[in-house]
Amino acid sequence: MALLNENYQLTVQEVLRRPFFQQAYIAAGQEGLQRLVRWVHIIEVIQFEELLQGGEMILTTGAAFKSDTKLFMTYLEQLMNNNVSCLCIEMGHYLSSVPQAWIDAAEASQLPLIIFPQAVRFIDITQDIHAHIINQHHKALQDLEKISREFHRMTLSSQGVSHVLGLLQSSTKAQVIYVPQDGQPKFFPQMRSRESAQWLEYLSGHLATNSDSRHAGSPAVFEVEGQTVIVQPVGAMGKTWANIMLVLSRKPQEYEYLILDSASLSIAQDLLRKRYMEERKLYSQTLWVDDLLHLRIRDEEQIKVLIGHGFKQLNELVYHVILIEFEHKQTEDYPALGDGGGIESAGIHLSLAARSIFEQHTFHPLLTLKNNRLVVVAFDKTPKRPAKERLQQVFQSLQLLKAEEEMELTIGVGQSNRSFMQAHQSYQEALQAISLAPTLQSKVLFFDELGVFQLLFHIADKQMLKSFVRTYLGPIIDYDHMKGSELLRTLKVYLDNDGSKQIAAQQLFIVRQSLYYRLEKIEELLGANYMLPEKRLALQVGIRAFQLLHPDIKL
């Protein structure tokens, strides 16, 4: 198994061993020989700062400064400001020797100063070093791919995480510390108890002070007593399940970041598989929740048996029943959730994410899956904090998480309740709330915010609703049907904005004159008294009843 090694990065000292440097000698900056050479650049002008990115080997004949010490110092200062790796000067047409003041300045800056005592072909040097760098990068990528495949293969074994961490350590020659949220820390290689305790304490302090400041999944890098420490979170679905700490006695290379990222991804996939299996098990254990919501369990004693010792505590907590309807956007990757297996798999993944996010916001969730709807009975473990605000945070996190998977969520929330035997009522409210999603064009609906719809849902006689709508809105509906106009929508917007013509015109995207014409027609059809309180209230209720009866018509 090929492992990453330090030869993938070229140092100044290694460059001096290349064939075209056999006649060169180092005049100053011996302490900088371990600087990395990332590229070769020829600079024969005096102003060039914008041309450099750092890590370049600079070749020059001295044409920019000749024997002028002041110009050389300007040239040297720009090199230092841009963190170049070394400066190579060719003796010949512009320079026959290097003044001691130049050598002293380079030595003071610890910048390697390499002298070619006679003319050399810069083109040969650049081709040689660039080819070497590119070949080494290509080899590094090949070895990274091999190690990534090995990581993936290892996670399929029972000791997958330990094997991945062992390979990570042997590949980077760093101290590897793995700290899961639920489990014992692991050290590769093993450390003395006192030293390991110090590193765990450091990690704990780092996580406590940086929990909200760092983007999830990105590594943090610190210097601790001359050592470089990289902290890489491991997790998925917006939650960190573990942290990997890499402790190096040197500056980390790009490849070490890449291999650490690959290792953390493999471990995250392993943990996700295990959590998926656990979620399936939990899901099978809470199938009885569906019976509870549909009144197939009417005896509290049955629930006590199903839940066990946690029944008393849960039965006294306030809860909401939440309905989460999920559907993939139709793309090449997700043509449709047509088959039952696809729906169940997507539902369990959603259940896994939902459980994690609800728990983060101090809810205890019981979940069950029904076709493409996930039902959550969310018990509030901190009732002194506003539940609705935390629920909205839960829904926002879920929506953002699932948007990455091209999944659309529609959520209905029943009113708060206490006692398991009241769950059916909250479930019905969640169903009613989610049924209004097309009508109200909203992805999250709380039943207690539906206003008059709450009453309309309880009118079982739909014929009565139709009669009410015809009585108050019949002329408007008929006119729209005949003329293809939008008087009903105009009336709704006008009434919803307390009769403000300016706001109504803005929301309808029409000019004031068009609104005046529509309002005149409405008054003609409904009568001049349609804005009186009782008539206005009846019209607004009638519009809501129309929306309930015709959810496919957008107003």
Q: Can you spell out the DSSP letters for 1-23?
A: -----GGGS-BHHHHTTSGGGTT
pLDDT at 235: 82
CA distance 379 to 361: 11
Mean pLDDT of 397-402: 89
Give the Cβ contact number of residue 504 at 10 Å: 23
417-430 residues labelled b (16+ CB within 10 A) or e (exposed): beebbebbebbbbb
Token couple for 545: 């009843």
Question: In the chain, what percentage of residues exceed pLDDT 90?
Answer: 52
Strand 86-90 relative to strand 113-116: parallel, antiparallel, unpaired? Answer: parallel
CA distance 365 to 346: 18
Token couple for 319: 């809860």
pLDDT at 213: 46
Token couple for 114: 């390499």
pLDDT at 214: 46
Q: Higher pLDDT residue, 298 or 484?
A: 484
pLDDT at 285: 67
Q: Considering all CA atoms of the chain, what is the largest pairwise distance in Å, rounded to the nearest integer?
A: 106
pTM (two decimals): 0.60
pLDDT at 306: 83
- Among candidates 465, 464, 460, 393, which has minimal Cα distance to 432? 460
Three-state SS string over 275-293 comes to HHHHHHHHHHHCCHHHHHH
pLDDT at 483: 92
Is the predicted pLDDT of residue 2 greater than 50, yes or no? no
Token couple for 498: 């307390």
CA distance 338 to 335: 8
Is the predicted pLDDT of residue 1 greater than 70, yes or no? no
| Residue that the structure tokens 């990581």 belong to | 151
What is residue 233's DSSP assignment? E
Contact 357, 375 (CB under 8 A): no
| Weakest-pLDDT range from 76-90, 147-161, 467-481 | 147-161
Token couple for 119: 């003319």
Given pLDDT bands bounded at 50, 70 and 90, which one contains residue 340? low
Q: For 406-427, write each residue's pLDDT tens digit.
A: 889 999 999 999 889 889 999 9
pLDDT at 241: 85
Q: Higher pLDDT residue, 461 or 332?
A: 461
Token couple for 400: 């953002």
Contact 155, 266 (CB under 8 A): yes
- Mean pLDDT across the chain: 87
Given pLDDT bands bounded at 50, 70 and 90, which one contains residue 219? confident
Mean pLDDT of 306-326: 90
Mean pLDDT of 305-316: 85
Given pLDDT bands bounded at 50, 70 and 90, which one contains residue 280? confident
Mean pLDDT of 174-184: 89
Is the predicted pLDDT of residue 396 greater than 90, yes or no? yes
pLDDT at 220: 87
Among the ranges 205-209, 455-459, 502-506, 548-552, which has the highest mean pLDDT value? 502-506
- Among candidates 184, 271, 180, which has minimal Cα distance to 233? 180
Is the predicted pLDDT of residue 5 greater than 80, yes or no? no
CA 486 from chain center: how many Å?
Answer: 42
Nearby residues of 419 by Cβ (< 8 Å), 6 or more positions away: 315
Report residue 228: phi and psi, to 5°: -95, 130
Nearby residues of 475 by Cβ (< 8 Å), 6 or more positions away: 525, 526
| Weakest-pLDDT range from 156-170, 377-391, 444-458 | 156-170
pLDDT at 3: 39
Is the predicted pLDDT of residue 178 greater than 80, yes or no? yes
Token couple for 331: 């793309």
pLDDT at 389: 93
Mean pLDDT of 25-30: 94
Give the Cβ contact number of residue 445 at 10 Å: 22
Contact 274, 242 (CB under 8 A): no
